[in-house]
Amino acid sequence: MTRRLCLLFFLLSSTLAVAEKYALLVGINDYPNDISPLRYCVADVVAFRDTLVNVSSFKKGNIFLMTDGMEGQMEPTNINIVKRLSILAQQIKSSDTLVFYFSGHCIVNDSDSFLLAANSDTTTQDTLEMSGVSLDRVSKILSSVKAHQLLTVIDACRYSPEASRSGEDSVLTDEFSKGFKIRRNSSDRQPRVSATLYACSIGERAYEWSEKGHGVFSYYLLKGMNGGVADSQGQVTVTDLAEYTQSKVMDWAKTYRNKRQTPWLSLQGGTKLILVENRLAMVKAERRRLESELAKTKQQLDQAQKADGALSRIEDIQRKTELQEKVRQAKATKELDRQREETARQERKEVTRQQREKSIKQAANREQIRRERAEIERKKQQLEAERQKLQAQQLESIDISQLLQKAKELQDKINGVGLEVRAEVNHQIGAIPKPQKSQVNPQD
């Protein structure tokens, strides 16, 4: 079943593939350092994003919006802008559409022109070249895009980036417009149309409209896309949109500022770039295409179903075999568990038997030792009794005459010792010197 679903998905995806529409929209109000802030750039690109989704049939996931305040890969730094534009240029096919919209500050110097990113630093030429988005680089990237339709919108001359220091307006210069040239090669099979729409002409500046919360250029651009210049079939071409926006913006600038602001269009590679297609005609054409593709898909499905019977039988056999194998493995596992349990039970039984025999032997040994000790004690007592009896018998067997004889001999020894003692005493007494008599002279 999984293989059949994958096959059908492949058939449907291969037949229903259509051209895609992509957009990179950059809007920056707040800049670092002394670069003067703008007011409605973010609002302009957000509204343009919504119009592309609601009117121009762009998929929201194909629109990349970068505004100050965003973080990570969607923060409009110079690196992120160039990176996202390069990725889109590589992935877009020849049947696709790409829109690049920049709303913010720009600056021109002797060597190049730059779109100012959220991290751009205009302090010196070196810091500008390192942190700005080179217009020459943007031109080269867009020139490599294979899309059938390419629209670039530049709304970047509202105030001077250094207005906080100089107090001057920023105007579109000839150097800026000349520095931005898109050169794409067309093929016979798929002509490539490139259009660049500027918010104002050379020597002019773009104004903001506080009552509407937008730049004047973007306000009328959005109004034209939302039906202001749609033809009888509901289509909006970039040429008609540019003419409408130019007329409305010129009138506004003359009326409210007594100035000139003239949006202008640079078109290459074709006469028509359709920004908003005829919705009804699109629906009908899409319906016809889907019906045709549905018929092809049904035919392919019928062919797949014919082979499905054999495939189903094979899958049934495979499932049955797998089930049998699972049952066999389950039985084998159960038998193995039973054998393990029986082995463990026998081992426990043997351990218990050995412990019991050991206890019996220990008890028997203790009893044997007790008996041997008792026997030894009994024999000791018996020997002691025999010894005492023998001693008594020995005393009884001594002859009285022998005793008298021994007594006589002992008395003789005592007497002999007495004589010797008396002789020694006498000898000692005899050895003592006798005292001499003293002579006393008669007294006169």
The residue-averaged pLDDT of 229-234 equals: 81
Q: How far is CA 184 from the centre of its chain?
A: 41
How high is the pLDDT of residue 2? Answer: 46
Query: d(Cα 279, Cα 358) in Å, to the nearest integer?
Result: 99
What kind of architecture, by CATH, is found in domain 18-276? Answer: 3-Layer(aba) Sandwich (3.40)
Max CA-CA distance within the chain? 203
Between residues 109 and 134, the one the model is more confident about = 134
- At residue 89 the predicted structure's pLDDT band, cuts being 50, 70 and 90, is very high
Query: d(Cα 251, Cα 257) in Å, to the nearest integer?
Result: 10
How high is the pLDDT of residue 439? Answer: 53
Which residue, chain included where needed, has tokens 């991290």?
119
Are 267 and 195 spatial neighbours (Cβ–Cβ below 8 Å)?
yes
pLDDT digits (tens, 9 = 90+) for 297-318: 888 888 877 777 777 888 889 8
Q: What is the reported pTM?
A: 0.60
Which residue, chain included where needed, has tokens 């920023």?
170
Instruction: Give SS3 for 40.
Output: coil
pLDDT digits (tens, 9 = 90+) for 318-331: 888 998 999 999 89
SS (H, E, C) 330-358: HHHHHHHHHHHHHHHHHHHHHHHHHHHHH
DSSP string, 360-408: HHHHHHHHHHHHHHHHHHHHHHHHHHHHHHHHHHHHHTS-HHHHHHHHH
The residue-averaged pLDDT of 248-277 equals: 89
Query: d(Cα 432, Cα 83) in Å, to the nearest integer?
Result: 147
Query: d(Cα 294, Cα 301) in Å, to the nearest integer?
Result: 10
pLDDT digits (tens, 9 = 90+) for 92-112: 999 999 999 999 999 887 778
Query: d(Cα 66, Cα 48) in Å, to the nearest integer?
Result: 12
How high is the pLDDT of residue 231? Answer: 81
Q: In 225-278, which ranges are continuous DSSP H helix?
A: 238-256
The H or E element that residue 80 is part of is: helix 78-91
Instruction: Give SS3 for 108.
Output: strand
How high is the pLDDT of residue 166? Answer: 38
Nearest to residue 57, comparing CAs of 97, 25, 85? 97
Residue 184: CB partners within 8 Å, gap ≥ 6? 142, 143, 145, 150, 192, 194, 268, 269
How high is the pLDDT of residue 397? Answer: 67
Q: How do beta strands 97-103 and 21-27 pair?
A: parallel
How high is the pLDDT of residue 187? Answer: 61
- Lowest model confidence (mean pLDDT) among 140-154, 173-187, 197-211, 222-236: 173-187
Q: How do beta strands 149-155 and 97-103 pair?
A: parallel
How high is the pLDDT of residue 15? Answer: 40
242 pLDDT more than 80: yes
How high is the pLDDT of residue 372? Answer: 86
> What is the rounded average pLDDT for all residues in the chain?
83
- At residue 268 the predicted structure's pLDDT band, cuts being 50, 70 and 90, is confident
pLDDT digits (tens, 9 = 90+) for 363-420: 888 888 988 888 888 888 888 888 888 878 777 666 677 778 887 888 887 777 777 7
Angle between helix 238-256 and helix 216-223 axes, rounded to 10 deg: 140
Angle between helix 279-396 and helix 2-15 axes, rounded to 10 deg: 150
The residue-averaged pLDDT of 122-146 equals: 93
How high is the pLDDT of residue 23? Answer: 98
Question: Which of 138-147, 175-184, 360-369 has the largest mean confidence?
Answer: 138-147
Question: Which of 109-113, 126-130, 200-204 has the largest mean confidence?
Answer: 126-130
The residue-averaged pLDDT of 263-268 equals: 90
Query: d(Cα 276, Cα 262) in Å, to the nearest integer?
Result: 23
Phi, psi of 106 (to 5 degrees): -135, 160
Residue 215: CB partners within 8 Å, gap ≥ 6? 40, 41, 44, 103, 155, 158, 199, 206, 207, 208, 209
What b/e sequence results for 209-223 when a residue is b if at least 16 CB atoms lie within 10 Å of its CB, and e otherwise?
beeeebbbbbbbbbb
The residue-averaged pLDDT of 11-19 equals: 51
Question: Which of 41-55, 187-201, 281-295, 297-311 has the largest mean confidence?
Answer: 41-55
Any idea where the domains of the chain sit in the sequence?
18-276
Between residues 5 and 151, the one the model is more confident about = 151
